[in-house]
Structure 1
Amino acid sequence: MNAILINSLADGGAEKVALTVLESLVKRGHHIKLLCLEKNQYYEIPNGVEVIYLSNATGHENGLIKLLKLPVLAFKLIKLIRQHHIQVIQSHLFRANYVNVLAKLMGSSHCSQLVNTGSINFYYY
């Protein structure tokens, strides 16, 4: 079993990319779970995809609260990994990436794949 981890399904480019990847993998016969740190949904979820929310947060919380919740979310992720026998987690966006790596550092045996497209570098010669 594999999973995609993202902050939420709020209106944004990374969320759309994650859903596009998810939909493509499902069409190819993969069984993928969608894991969200928060319950903030703008996009529709593809048919046949189970969504699991790691918290009841909406994404409008204070930044310090979000930071302090990272270890708790990582612990919840480890429980899900063990419960659903998840082998690979592809995470999108910084907080989801931090939770993915933190779960790995806390002893999870899954393979972490981090996706970050938040910055573009321009080089002029």
Structure 2
Amino acid sequence: MSYQPRYADVEPTRAEVDALPGATLLEFGAPWCGHCLGAQPAIETALRAHPDLRHLKIEDGRGRPLGRSFRVKLWPTLVLLRDGEERMRLVRPQGAGEIARALAALDPATAGGASAPGEPR
């Protein structure tokens, strides 16, 4: 599945997310959020090394139950899950290298090429 450029048309429920097998990256944000827009190239670059990792891009905001259940406060927030359980999160990540390292820890089978070009491992 890997990188999703658009926000999901339908927000999954928390129960659906909790039941997801394997590695998943939940990205919470909003289409008008400058920080979210600025992070897209880094997220896309980091996900290239993980083509089979599930990426769910969730539009967040007031009254959005999934974001509230994960206590999202700032955007973008990347929540990394393994078998529906949160393993780590990045709030306003500062580049592809930071995201790549987190993804490599979550999805070690593809960790060999996880660093972005020009960024330290």
Q: Same fold (TM over 0.5)?
A: no
Q: TM-score range by the shorter chain?
A: 0.3 to 0.5
TM-score of the aligned structures, taking structure 1 as reference length: 0.34
Which one has more relative contact order, counting CA pairs under 8 Å at least 6 apart? 2
Length-normalised TM-score, structure 2: 0.35
Q: Determine which structure has more spread, i.e. the larger CA radius of gyration.
A: 1
